[in-house]
Chains A and B, each alone.
Chain A
Amino acid sequence: MIPEFESFNLPILSLVVLTPALVALALCLVDRNNRALIRQLALMGSFLTLLFSLLMVANFDSSLGTMQLEEQHSWIESLGITYHLGVDGISILLVLLTCFTMPFVFLSTWACIDDRVKEFHIALLLLQTGMVGAFVSLDLILFYLYYEAMLIPMYLIIGIWGGRERIYAALKFFIFTMVGSLLMFLGILYLYHHAGTFDLPVLMERLRTTHPLDSDQQLWLFLAFTLSFAIKVPLFPLHTWLPDAHVQAPTAGSVVLAGVLLKMGTYGLIRFAIPLFPEAAFDLQSMMAWLAIIGIVFGACMALVQNDIKKLIAYSSVSHLGFVVLACFIPNLESLTGAILQMVNHGLSTGMLFLMIGIIYERRHTRELADYGGICKVVPIFSIFFMLAVLSSIGLPGLNGFVGEFLLLYGVFSSVPLWGVLASTGVLLGALYMLNMVKKFLFGPLVHEENRHIADLNTRELIYLTPFVVMMVWLGLYPAPFIKMVQPTLTLYIEMLQN
């Protein structure tokens, strides 16, 4: 029995969005040398946010499929900007994913971030506010604010706490993203000029009824929005910032980047670019699909030849998110459900992989595959967890990756068989590069003496890795509750697209 909280009339979404920012403000007042307090406060703040997000799920009626828990307040009336939040089946899982990931990300940084701890935690908390805010914003400018606000903390995280080439990577990340988002900004302003509102539901209604766009306008606006999201995803050939950013970012940065930030791109496609400009999306469907397929195969091939584990996972992300983009442009229930599940799955498995690479990097200070080999005998528990994450990533039945990938490919195949076949090669290649990596990393002879004394997972690490495994198994064995949350919304969404 789900407890009924609605009588309190809590602004639940605002709580989920703003709690991390408020904790960040509180952290400003803490003495910078009191690292333990800073770490605990941030952790507690992120757990509190997780709690609020569970409250959000409890109040979410998954049978409806409409926008729920909406909050709308006037904000900048003179510019027509409102504070409009809402959550539906498309965004709820992503909000959950974000709120679920963050506490464990905080836990993972306790050993590796020693420099400017206070700033680091403030940046991560603000990043969380930005991410969740972008997922639940229903006002285009509000969305844009959060979307851009994520950029600065991430930029600082890569640039301050990153590796040797961090400044280059941070700058590349910032400029790539900024180019796209400013063009989207122009698109948003043009939409306002055309339809007179920034409010997403109202805008959708007006575009369909009173203020239709002609095909040229649709095309350019679609391109402006899609470019921005394609950079975030990142879609081939705009992916070049990702390997640099991933390799240079500290572990926490990589986890958030791969786990949540990249989904902003695919989410943006599903939420904004496609439903706002459906004709243009339909016209460019095959171009986008081919780019996605090239990305799938290209990312996989690049991953095959990487020696740096982090870079390998980064390229695997390019490949995995190619699947999601492909599915976004094929509007049937299976492919879209699969797309959303795959966003969550990729967040879980890749997030966990990055966490574990961080763990081993803390011990050995290298990410080169050649420096490892045979360590499964030295660190058995680590190896089991790592194997689980890898298997989830390549879609082994019984783990989360399988459900999403199967639905997604089934959906694609039933629409355009050729694309389904080509995309499936990505699954094969995925198994190839992942297992190849595991072989060189965990198995084989133990050639390096230094590797004999690597410590296995400690309690703290077990604590933050176990939840990921639990979620992977849950999503793999019993995904029904999650699919139920998603599908009513998607059914309405597809109906709307077909009109």
Chain B
Amino acid sequence: MMRQLAMAWVLLVCQGTAWAHKASDSYLVVDVQGNTVTAQWDIALRDIDFALGLDRDGNAEITWGELRARQSDVAAWALSRLALTRNGNCPLQVSGLQVDEHTDGGYAVLHLSGMCPGARGALGLHYRLLFDLDSLHRGLLRLTLDGATHSTVLSPTSGVLQFGPTQATRWEQFSQYLVEGVWHIWIGFDHILFLLSLLLPAVLVWHMRHWQGVTRFGVAAREVLWVVTSFTAAHSITLSLAALGLVSLPSRLVESAIALSVVLAAANNLWPVVERRRWLVAFGFGLIHGFGFASVLAELGLPADALVLSLLGFNLGVEVGQMAIVAGFLPVAFLLRNTRFYLRGIFVLGSWLTMLVAFIWLLERAFDLKLLSP
């Protein structure tokens, strides 16, 4: 003891600079989608050795064989120090073992998987790896919860965390779904063709069994406004009903009906049945198209904690996409409305082509064939 005392001063300045080096970290990447958990957990082999003793032959080298021989011990030890909850405990299991290197040496890579009792609501995480043995150990967590990412450092004082609905990612979720909405209307040719079929005659008027251009831009614009608004209102209703799980229709029926709606809208341009109240057509078929959007949204998955917000974002996105199409279409169509190019080329030929394509879609979808699309 005396000797230690004498050494105290000596030792202290020996590391007076107090170098910081690499203390112990584990790297935990967790992905939770609904009730499904997948994770990768990199734990330093030195740390596992310190906790469990891996170096069986005592030669200061850990081999792959020595690690593999203790796989079940390592798994049991690690899993007893990590708990995830979502409406209850999510039991985890080690589905694979690999190795990797980080800046301070070799790591065991544990691949984890598990299921939570609930698919919605807050996610609880309790981390306590090594804290009983090494209080400077930290867990570097990267959690993706229903698409939203959280990064944090887990320490003995912050090992228990809640992630969930009130996190500050609402705006991100909203804008993410907004972009998805825009994207979907842009790649959804059936929706675009339907809309265009209804818009093509907006700059024309059926007069004496012939189409001719409207006189004023305002007339065309009002027509477009009516059509687009009713289409929007209709598909918003069914999209919301379907997304909230209140109504559901078989997707084959929905997709076929959408194709049929395009066929009928284009046919109506060639053999007008409905000339005045196209907004009613837009509304009626818009209901069908809403179910189509809903199936896309179902594939994306709606975050449980921001359901309405995401739905609103997606809807608005679809609107923005439509508006962009209208804004591009209307001025050009109005300018060209009295030309042969518009009346014959775009209006008649375009409607024929649209009808043809949509008819093929209808056959494909109704009979589950592959005719056009790759």
Please determine whether chains A and B interact with each other in the same assembly: no
